[in-house]
Structure 1
Amino acid sequence: MTATALCHGEGCRTGHAGGRPRRRTADGSRLCRPCREHFAAGLTELAHLYEECGRVLGGAAPGSLRERTTGGDLPGLPFNGAAADVRAKMVSVLGSWSGLVAQQRGFTSPPRTVAALTAFLLRNADWLAAHSAAAEATEEIARLVRAGRRAAFPDPARSIRLGDCPEPGCSGALALAVRAGARAEGPAIVCAADPGHRWTSDQWSGLSRSMDSAREPAAEAAAKTERWLTAADIAQLWHTPTGTVYRLASEERWRRRNRAGRTYYNESDVRDCFDRRAAART
């Protein structure tokens, strides 16, 4: 494999089918750098999607952004067969690729848990990227991620409550409408009391700061209205792959809370992180 070969990763292959040229591979690999990074991000996301599917399987409702309040657990939903099928498929596919790596590299196979299997594959991602089956590996992992997202977040449409409208004299609440497949269109943040109070999700960082400045200055009052977001909410608001969200949460040590088995991240930490990243690109 030379540095001038064309990438056969899942991203480049689907892009080529849509008329975009394939990128060149990285040295010693069968994948270009973006496809290699996307492959690793997909493995990272699968570990989290497996847990999210477990929540749906157990009857928990798909979550959304929540302000910290008192009260009971979220309402439940019936048993979800699709989530069960996806979880079984994850173990099967990840176990198969881990078995290939272990056999050909002389390693001990990891335990057949999604957390252990994805960690093992991530440690051997560069080796897989140079393997003759790299194209198939990226395709199967990408397919698993898409299936996991559909099972973990099955609602075709939902509304994420973001807080009180910052427009002077308005008593309405803001919500982000999230619909399947609508990410590219830039979902709108709309006030329930006045639809004219509308922002795109790209404006969320500035809007969020305006909402924060309008709050009571008391620390106790600020804590009560502190916003917490799920990884899916963050991906929608900042147009970022969910796998990248999980990586940044770990690297940047975002504050987190757990409720009904679901992880919520502190919105201020998230916003500051993405603001720094945007500033670094300018």
Structure 2
Amino acid sequence: MAVTAPCQGEGCRRRTADGRSRRRTAATGRLCRPCREHLDAGLAELAHLYEECGRMLAGAAPGSLRERTTGGDLPGLPFNGAAADVRARMVSVLGSWSGLVAQERGFATPPRHVAALTAFLRRNGDWLAAHPAAAEATEEVARLVRAGRRAAFPDPARSIRLGACPEPGCSGSLTVAVRAAAHGSGGDGSADDGGQAVVCDAAPAHRWTSDQWSGLSRTMDAGRAPGTPAPAPTERWLTAADIARLWHTPTGTVYRLASEQRWRRRNRAGRTYYNETDVRTCFDRRAAART
């Protein structure tokens, strides 16, 4: 029988702070399965956060439209020091861990670019999860992810318009507020919810929790009520952060699924939006596989 021990990962460390016990490790590592998966998701997210922070370097608001120019930024544009600092820390921290892996495994050190560093660490994730320094790796990656989210998404809240309210006779629209803290997940890989709700702007009593969104979305596509003319299905487009909030999923997992499942996407003002129908179908299929 395989001998396991208490997990040393960042997520389980947070569990003890909440008065819960640590999960048990996998047989060949120092991390439990959720903490191992969260390490991989965090590394995947860092590659995207690095690019998002790059868009913030000249002080542009998240998702804002900036005209592309040749020869660098125009003089006088504000410089986002927080985004620059986070990007530098990402290169330094990921470079250090990649150097450790390369030295101890006899591999060539990857280029000091965040995309290359994160890809290298993800390929060696199982080895790193069994290393005596696995706990420190999960903590440093989690700190980088939190810092990257703060720098890339500094707006305290923004409202996402989801479509017409499905309640019979209601002419309102549904919205959900997404806060900066919601761009991803908690330390154990689960998304923080904080009581977020999908609310009708005409009738506040028409409200649903964010985890009811998948079923609610079908209702909106199907029409308001029997006998009421059903509108054409609405094409809704969501950012990775929106999806993470609505489906309680780490942002890194969202990016991975978008690539694996080939979700339809479109770019607006430098940001990527994913087709909500493709997203919903994917998460419905995953939920069905777990039952």
Q: TM-score range by the shorter chain?
A: 0.7 to 0.9
Distance 1:20 1:98, change over 3 A: same
CA distance in 1, matches of 2:219, 2:142: 38
CA distance in 1, matches of 2:39, 2:285: 25
What's the CA shift string for 1:53-110, capped at 9, x where partnerless?
Answer: 11222444324xxxxxxxxx64799542211111111011001111111112121111
For structure 1, list consecutive stretches of 5 or more residues without a partner in the other structure. 64-72
Matched, 1:157 2:166: no
Number of residues of Structure 1 aligned to a counterpart in Structure 2: 266
Aligned-pair Cα RMSD in Å: 2.1
2:201 to 178, 192, 209: 192
What's the CA shift string for 1:177-222, capped at 9, x where partnerless?
Answer: 22355742331111222222222112211221222223644xxxx5
CA distance in 2, matches of 1:173, 1:278: 28
Q: Which residue of 2 aligns with 1:69?
A: none
Tell me if the contact between 1:3 and 1:24 (Cα under 8 Å) persists in the aligned partners: no
Moved more, 185-194 or 74-83: 74-83
Tell me if the contact between 2:150 and 2:180 (Cα under 8 Å) persists in the aligned partners: no
Q: Which amino acid aligns with 2:94?
A: L
Q: Which has the higher helix share?
A: 1
CA distance in 1, matches of 2:65, 2:165: 25
What's the CA shift string for 1:230-279, capped at 9, x where partnerless?
Answer: 01000111111111111211221111111222111100000111112222
CA distance in 1, matches of 2:152, 2:288: 33
Distance 1:181 1:60, change over 3 A: closer
Q: Secondary structure at the match of 1:184?
A: coil
- What's the CA shift for 1:155? 1.3
Distance 1:144 1:216, change over 3 A: same
Tell me if the contact between 1:186 and 1:202 (Cα under 8 Å) persists in the aligned partners: no
Q: Could you state the TM-score of these two structures normalised by the residue count of structure 1?
A: 0.87
Distance 1:270 1:181, change over 3 A: same
Q: Which residue of 2 aligns with 1:131?
A: 131
Q: Following TM superposition, where does structure 1 have runs of at least 4 consecutive aligned residues deviating by more than 6 angstroms?
A: none
> Identity, % of aligned pairs?
80
Distance 1:144 1:209, change over 3 A: same
Q: Which residue of 2 aligns with 1:68?
A: none
Q: Which residue of 2 aligns with 1:101?
A: 101
Distance 1:59 1:260, change over 3 A: farther
Q: Which residue of 2 aligns with 1:271?
A: 280
Q: Which residue of 2 aligns with 1:47?
A: 47
CA distance in 1, matches of 2:35, 2:136: 12
Q: Which residue of 2 aligns with 1:37?
A: 37
Q: Which residue of 2 aligns with 1:236?
A: 245
Q: Which residue of 2 aligns with 1:28?
A: 28
Matched, 1:211 2:215: no
CA distance in 1, matches of 2:180, 2:267: 25
Q: Secondary structure at the match of 2:193?
A: helix
CA distance in 2, matches of 1:23, 1:175: 37
Tell me if the contact between 1:25 and 1:33 (Cα under 8 Å) persists in the aligned partners: yes
Q: Could you state the TM-score of these two structures normalised by the residue count of structure 2?
A: 0.84
Alignment of 1:45-124 (within 5 A): 45-63=45-63, 74=65, 78-124=78-124
Distance 1:5 1:198, change over 3 A: closer
- What's the CA shift for 1:34? 1.6
Q: Which residue of 1 aligns with 2:4?
A: 4
